[in-house]
Structure 1
């Protein structure tokens, strides 16, 4: 009977998840619930306490105690929401981001070890079966999240950033391979030598696939960060992803103490320029140039941030 099969599956999957228990097998001091809270905070640029309660179905009192513990350990900061002062905005500190990154890395390793036991030819079937379960049981239910996910990059994502910039800008603006080469150098420099406390990459994901990117890196000027490689796939536009990606950079740069955020773009990228303007950037300089096989007008944009301690 279907009911018996569902119950059998539940028992099997519960045992399987137990084998991946965070505190025992990932060698971390955090429970599964604590780990999920850290995950949500790491993958959502703007999260308040009410969002966490709704997302994770947590009791308000329990969540408050958990956040107090995290705050005491230096993992999170709390402040009134910019949108609604009655709500608390929760953000990860640099130490909190390190903890979340460690959890994510060890979780990926644990799941990878589990998948290694599955023959390579059976893995596509397994993934498709999991997707089918989620799709069928998720019909008619409220979406798990409001809109797409903004997360840290995983294996293969940086290569995707290079490939999609090259393909998309060639298709939409006629830029040649010089641009893809520039993006490849930027990504390679980041991958080989970056400060995780002061530099980050974000990937936007929709329906389980990457659809956007942005990067925050240190600039040559003191206490200045540079926004780079903003991209949103054409079929993912209209979800506010560009604004979310830029907001992630602005919030991160401000939180770690940069005093200024700058970027360079070209006048033909009208959609991106509107996003920058909404985020508070102002145009400070323009200069014609010929690059990537076409004539362009380069633009420098600037956003002052709070005074900080980055040197």
Structure 2
């Protein structure tokens, strides 16, 4: 046991140095890593109850109160009493707060890219796998298996097309015309996407792809979420919600003002994910498609 304790402490000392390197980018701003984490959670959710924020991040109540007062003075947040319980305080991130977070997020991402740049592709995969293992062992529940969200690699687009065709045939009874449409979307993305404004993500469990989503340009102001899919055996792990969160965060960083998506009314699970992410139904219509009658829906939200 003593050797294990020594090994964990040695890793802690090493990783503390790594965190110091990653946090160095914050030194050019007036925000600490803890403050950046608070802004991250508020940017992700838009608003949070102050007590929930304190418990989630393990912060001292007085420290968080002083931090939020500073943010409020700087115009980054507003605070108001909960309509349900006046004893509770709701914290809302302002447009200025979203802008500050985007700056901090870009600095953090740049630091991580610099850290990973010297590594080969296999070492990067080993690193992420090891990090996921640590999270899974020490983090415990809520999800039964760890998963990784990563950019698409060669071969992934073919998997996306195949699984869309297979799953929608099995679950919705759609014919091959849906797979053909998915193939055209994937081909257009592969041949002519702007990496600064369009990207995708693949979810993995134990090294196998289990989910996908893509963020593409609809017009200069509007992004479109496309090709969201989660394998049946991994539904309930939070993968769909996480993929949508990645898409929203990228769309904000890329300067879009709004994001939309098209889905079908029969996909109740996907609809719940979209509703939790703040999307609202704009319109729907029924038309013949994919060998059957389909109720198409358009959803959107501001960013």
Which category describes the TM-score, using the shorter chain as reference length?
Answer: 0.5 to 0.7
Contact 1:265 1:300 in 2 (8 A): yes
Aligned to 1:90: 91
Does 2:161 match 1:166?
yes
Q: Measure, in 2, the Cα distance between the counterparts of 1:128 and 1:24.
A: 27
Contact 2:223 2:259 in 1 (8 A): yes
Contact 2:260 2:299 in 1 (8 A): yes
When normalised by structure 1's length, the TM-score is 0.62
> Relative to structure 1, is the Cα distance of residues 269 and 126 closer, same or farther in structure 2, using a 3 angstrom cutoff?
closer
Q: Measure, in 1, the Cα distance between the counterparts of 2:288 and 2:77.
A: 45
Contact 1:22 1:30 in 2 (8 A): no
Q: Is the partner of 2:75 in helix, strand or coil?
A: coil
Q: Measure, in 2, the Cα distance between the counterparts of 1:124 and 1:266.
A: 35
Q: Is the partner of 2:78 in helix, strand or coil?
A: strand
1:67 CA displacement: 1.4
Does 2:151 match 1:156?
yes
Does 2:154 match 1:130?
no
Aligned to 2:296: 299
Matches within 5 A, 1:69-80: 69-80=70-81
Q: Measure, in 1, the Cα distance between the counterparts of 2:267 and 2:226.
A: 12
> Relative to structure 1, is the Cα distance of residues 110 and 264 closer, same or farther in structure 2, using a 3 angstrom cutoff?
closer
Matches within 5 A, 1:95-244: 95-118=96-119, 121-139=122-140, 156=151, 166-174=161-169, 175-182=178-185, 211=211, 213=213, 228-229=225-226, 231-233=228-230, 234-238=232-236
Q: Is the partner of 1:20 in helix, strand or coil?
A: helix
Aligned to 1:266: 264
Contact 2:26 2:104 in 1 (8 A): no
Q: Measure, in 2, the Cα distance between the counterparts of 1:128 and 1:111.
A: 16
Contact 2:25 2:107 in 1 (8 A): no
Q: Is the partner of 2:137 in helix, strand or coil?
A: helix
Contact 1:23 1:31 in 2 (8 A): no
1:53 CA displacement: 0.7
> Relative to structure 1, is the Cα distance of residues 33 and 188 closer, same or farther in structure 2, using a 3 angstrom cutoff?
farther
1:34 CA displacement: 0.8
> Relative to structure 1, is the Cα distance of residues 264 and 76 closer, same or farther in structure 2, using a 3 angstrom cutoff?
same
Q: Measure, in 1, the Cα distance between the counterparts of 2:273 and 2:37.
A: 31
Aligned to 1:21: 23
Q: Could you tell which deviates more after superposition, 102-111 or 202-211?
A: 202-211
Aligned to 2:7: 5
Q: Is the partner of 1:176 in helix, strand or coil?
A: helix
Q: Measure, in 1, the Cα distance between the counterparts of 2:202 and 2:85.
A: 25
Contact 2:25 2:108 in 1 (8 A): no
Q: Is the partner of 1:29 in helix, strand or coil?
A: coil
Q: Of the two structures, which has the highest relative contact order with CA contacts closer than 8 Å and spacing of 6 or more?
A: 1
Q: Is the partner of 1:14 in helix, strand or coil?
A: helix
Q: Measure, in 2, the Cα distance between the counterparts of 1:114 and 1:280.
A: 35
Across the aligned residues of Structure 1 and Structure 2, the Cα RMSD in angstroms comes to 5.1
Q: Measure, in 2, the Cα distance between the counterparts of 1:230 and 1:300.
A: 15
Q: Measure, in 2, the Cα distance between the counterparts of 1:6 and 1:44.
A: 34
Aligned to 1:286: 285
Contact 1:77 1:91 in 2 (8 A): yes
Structure 1 spans left out of the alignment, 5+ residues? 195-199
